[in-house]
Amino acid sequence: MIHNPLLLKEFRQRMRTVRAPIVVTGYFVGMALITFFLLYENVQGQLSLFLPARSEQVFVTLSLLQTIVAAFLTPAFAAGSISGERERRTLAVLLTTPLPPGGILLGKVLSSSALLTLLLVVTLPLYSLVFLFGGAVPQEVIAVFAFQLFTVVLIAAISVMWSTISLRSGWSTVLSYATVTWMVFVTGALGYGLHMIAQRFPMEYFVSEWGDVLLNLNPLWILACIEDPGLGRPLGWLWFVGVYVGFCLLLTIPSVWRLRPQAFRFVPGALRAEEKDYQ
């Protein structure tokens, strides 16, 4: 991974711009203001009354808010990674390198999620404030950070795949944000709605089951279950990981074909279109 020249080039190109420190500084200042405001509101202005239960509410709110922001920021960095190369007429040059299609995709995914990972890291001191007042334990902070990092890389991977499959950055951006909207809002609304129906009609057992299935596809619900294990089913995050990792692997097949159709020369009709048609 460290010898991937595309990854090194992307790291240097993204981190040496003026935008990177401005984004990091602005994000940290914004999250710091929100954190201090939530801490102040939870004690009603009485700074000597930091209660663990109220600090836990701040921890949950901050975690969910940061996950939403990171989820919707990731496609902005990843949705144009391959389609942008195609539009700038540099994809053909990239394909002449010794890197295989998997190396190109991996380099784009890691470079696209690098800045978002840095945003998550710089907010760790804010979590330490909540930890200081008894709102969370170290295991919870580590678990939340690990899941947020996984979610960022997952969304970056899906966005890069859409960017490879689509011929234009506009389409890849639409598909990426549609995927994030499904993950964050649609699954939550449908799952919660099915649970409400199950409460009114207890005999409809399958409705509650489908509600759990949809909620376990929602990163905010999984994050809430990590912070409160009694909220959902045990190991519900395994369903989240399995479904979305499987979806990424499924998108990898057409993505590799878009980059290098010769990789599927053993499939009848796979070479019907040449590489130049996608560059």
Instruction: List, for residues 15-31, the tens digit of each pLDDT value.
Output: 777 878 888 899 999 99
Q: How far apart are CA 197 and CA 199, in angstroms?
A: 5
Question: Residue 134 has what DSSP assignment?
Answer: T
Instruction: List, for residues 255-275, the tens digit of each pLDDT value.
Output: 998 888 777 766 665 555 554
Residue 235 region by backbone torsions, left for phi larger than 0, else alpha for psi between -120 and 50, else beta: left
Query: Phi and psi at residue 51, in whole multiples of 5°?
Result: -100, 140
Instruction: List, for residues 152-196, the tens digit of each pLDDT value.
Output: 999 999 999 999 998 788 999 999 999 999 999 999 999 988 888
- pTM, to two decimals: 0.88
pLDDT along the chain (279 residues), means of 10: 71 78 89 84 59 71 91 92 87 84 89 89 83 72 92 95 90 95 94 84 74 92 86 82 95 90 67 49
Q: How far apart are CA 253 and CA 72, in angstroms?
A: 25
* Residue ranges covered by each domain of the chain: 5-261
Distance (Å) of CA 167 to CA 100, 172, 217, 255, 259:
20, 8, 28, 11, 11
Q: Side chain identity at 156, as an amino acid letter? A: A
Q: How far apart are CA 174 and CA 180, in angstroms?
A: 10
Q: How far apart are CA 259 and CA 276, in angstroms?
A: 10
Distance (Å) of CA 213 to CA 205, 237, 261:
13, 11, 36
